[in-house]
Amino acid sequence: MPDERFRKSERLRRRRDFLAVYAEGKRYSSPLFTIFVRATDHPMSRLGIAVSRKMGKAVRRNRAKRLIREVFRKNKERLPCPLDLVVNAKEALGTADYWTVEAEFLRFVERVTRDMCGRKPTSETARESSASGAIRSSESLPERVSSHSQSAVDMRKFSPITP
């Protein structure tokens, strides 16, 4: 049985960690949230969540954070390599159900698999989207670099190629 706990070591807690992901990471958008991703040297992926007051009162904001944490906790093993993630919730997430949030997160995982970790996607739908020319997997990013500063520089040199 996989470890589905959400440990303290799997959370982004410091301001400098959030700022590093915002500055050096790659941005992915969906109707429900925007995710910033950065490759990391930590042994496991870490999650940070940002929800603004635009979403609504505290009950609605807390529900959105719980949904994001639960989806990450259940699907963190699908992430192809250790990553730092910062999820910025959008207003639509306040009314979304678990299955909608999970579907968006899994779409994000497929895109990250192609872009950040240099692996081919595993699902049939991801293969179809990459075959349509969205991103060429043979020209994807290099494997993760050991130091944070080198990783940030190398990540900026390579961007997705559009046909």
157 assigned to some structural domain: no
The pTM is what? 0.69
Query: 78: domain range?
Result: 8-150
Residues 44-78: tens digit of each pLDDT: 899 999 999 999 999 999 999 999 999 999 998 88
SS3 117: coil
18 assigned to some structural domain: yes
How many domains does the chain fold into? 1
160 assigned to some structural domain: no
Lowest mean pLDDT among 4-13, 32-41, 78-87: 4-13
Whether residue 138 is predicted with pLDDT greater than 50 in this model: the reply is no
162 assigned to some structural domain: no
pLDDT at residue 9, as a whole number: 83
CATH number for 133: 3.30.230.10
pLDDT at residue 120, as a whole number: 55
Residues 6 or more apart whose CB falls under 8 angstroms from that of 14 comprise none
Quote the radius of gyration of the chain (alpha carbons, Å): 16
Which backbone phi and psi does 116 adopt, to 5 degrees? -90, -40
